[in-house]
Amino acid sequence: MDGRGFGARGLCTAIASTEGDLREAAVAVLRANDVGGWTRPAPRLYPHQWSWDSAFIAIGLAHVDPQRALAELEHLFAAQWSDGRVPHMVFDPRVEDYVPGPGLWASAASSDAAPRGVATSGLIQPPMHAIAAEHVWKIAGARADREFVARIRALYPRLLAWHRYLARERDPDRSGLLTIYHPWEGTDNTPRWDAALARLAVGERGSYSRTDTSLVGASERPSKAEYDRYLWLVDRLRLAGYDDTKIRRDHPFQIKDVQCTAIFAAASHALGAIASKLDMPVAERDEINSWVATSSVAVRDRFDEELGLVLDHDLATHEAIRVRTSAGLSALILPELPSALRERLVGTAFGEDFAGATGLAHPVIPSTSPRAPEFRPRAYWRGPTWPVINWLLWWGLERHGSGERASTLRRANLALLSRSGARFAEYFEPYTGEPLGSIDQSWTAAVTLDWLAAPRGSAPS
Ligand code: 2M8
């Protein structure tokens, strides 16, 4: 593995007047956030390795240095648990002042399945990794020499073990839908989880420090009440030794997450393509294909005619979560999507609820519908626009032949990202385009690189 030269520090430019400038600035962000073979999501707010961030980062790095892009995934999977789970965070031991740190998780002390040599969290995040691996291989093209393919071959069993963990432990009843145990397993303070969190009787938790609110305005971040619940849920998972069988028995936050599942279906499809190229056994490929089929059908079945979105399912109440967020559009990335459903989802995505909402600075897709009562334009996953989610939906539109819609969305996002001072922000205020959260966020820079490379090869085949 190499690409070590990529680790050189670089300065990020503030204004991008041309696509070339924007590309250069995006590469500089990824260079500056490279901490030696892997990339932190943001310079100060997120100084460790995060799972799905690294997958998106690899998608962007593929256009700069495919070897280094692969190394991003290899570093993450080196911390894989023996049960196959890929932890949502891998801690950098050099960073000691981030809270909550490794002590909250006590992964190695709590579970035999956790790796010994590295501290990790015990949660997961959406499995974007096989999508990233397939993309990196494709973009590498002729640069995928024998050594490169050998590295993919070495990564493949780890990807397979990861998907097997998800199928076995997060969908034990084979519903096709994956269960999440914590808001940190995806989109943190999205209003999709409000009702489930409100039911938790967590009691009074004294004061504690948080890295996020020391760097970003507290009103843009999860509230103390939400964060109390996040920590309380981690306490319970840690006490259960991160053992899925125990967790399933009585964990109070168990939700069938449509976005995580749609990503699993798409990633299984990508894994199947990798398995074919590597000529892996038919039985393995059949197993992978069964996940594609079952999870695709399950997400499609969550479509709600009234909202025009697919909806999560709360296992505690046995009810659909009827909140209008961009996660409800995630069926657009399913490998198998009937055209009638695609048209309904496209209608919602570009209608008044999302990109077509009145008064937006750019016609991009906000995280929560401006017409939803829960919408808050500056608050993290409760309204702002996330380029990384727009990339995911754009990728889905490309894949399903909605090329014109896809290029409209791509252009609108690039216009947002090219604004003076946009600085590859983590998320943006949808009416003003104001950058919010961290600036120089790695996955924002990464998807910008992929958009800039389109249509020269980023669209899925
Ligand atoms: C955010 O999550 C972390 C906790 O994992 C946080 O709020 O501190 C989310 O946006 C998550 O999806 C993302 O992976 C992470 C790093 O960018 O930040």
Contact 81, 114 (CB under 8 A): yes
Answer yes or no: is the C-beta of 184 below 6 A from any ligand 1 atom. yes
**C-alpha–C-alpha distance, residues 120 and 95, integer Å:** 13
Answer yes or no: is the C-beta of 244 below 6 A from any ligand 1 atom. no
Nearest CA to 342 among 351, 353, 333?
333
Confidence of residue 7 (pLDDT cuts 50, 70, 90): very low
Contact 139, 275 (CB under 8 A): no
Nearest CA to 152 among 226, 73, 94?
73
Please classify residue 97 by burial: count the beta carbons closer than 10 Å to its beta carbon, then call 0-12 exposed, 13-18 middle and 19+ buried.
Answer: exposed
Whether a cis peptide bond, with omega within 30° of 0, leads into 455 is yes
pLDDT at 17: 67
What is this structure's pTM? 0.96
Nearest CA to 88 among 162, 7, 164, 167?
162
Contact 192, 260 (CB under 8 A): no
Per residue in 85-118, pLDDT tens?
999 999 999 999 999 999 999 999 999 999 999 9
Confidence of residue 16 (pLDDT cuts 50, 70, 90): low
Which of the following is catalytic: 34, 74, 92, 426? 426
Best mutation site among 188, 193, 230, 237 for ligand 1, i.e. most ligand atoms within 8 A of its Cβ?
188
Distance 51 CA to ligand 1 centre (A): 10
Q: Is the pLDDT of residue 76 over 80?
A: yes
Nearest CA to 260 among 78, 409, 48, 52?
52
Q: Is the pLDDT of residue 2 over 80?
A: no
pLDDT at 402: 81
Distance 427 CA to ligand 1 centre (A): 12
Per residue in 357-379, pLDDT tens?
999 999 999 999 999 999 999 99
Mean pLDDT of the chain: 95
Distance 255 CA to ligand 1 centre (A): 18
Distance 213 CA to ligand 1 centre (A): 13
Per residue in 64-75, pLDDT tens?
999 999 999 999
Best mutation site among 46, 99, 381, 444 for ligand 1, i.e. most ligand atoms within 8 A of its Cβ?
46
- By percentage, how much of the chain surpasses pLDDT 70? 95
Nearest CA to 261 among 221, 313, 201?
313
pLDDT at 204: 82
pLDDT at 374: 98
pLDDT at 79: 98
Per residue in 137-184, pLDDT tens?
999 999 999 999 999 999 999 999 999 999 999 999 999 999 999 999
User: Which tokens hold the place of 210?
Assistant: 């948080």
226 is catalytic: no
Q: Is the pLDDT of residue 220 over 50?
A: yes
Answer yes or no: is the C-beta of 427 below 6 A from any ligand 1 atom. no
pLDDT at 6: 53
Pairing of strands 309-310, 303-304: antiparallel
Per residue in 264-287, pLDDT tens?
999 999 999 999 999 999 999 999
pLDDT at 5: 42
Report the atom number in ligand 1 closest to the C-alpha of 89.
5
Q: Is the pLDDT of residue 10 over 70?
A: no
pLDDT at 8: 36
pLDDT at 1: 34
188 is catalytic: yes
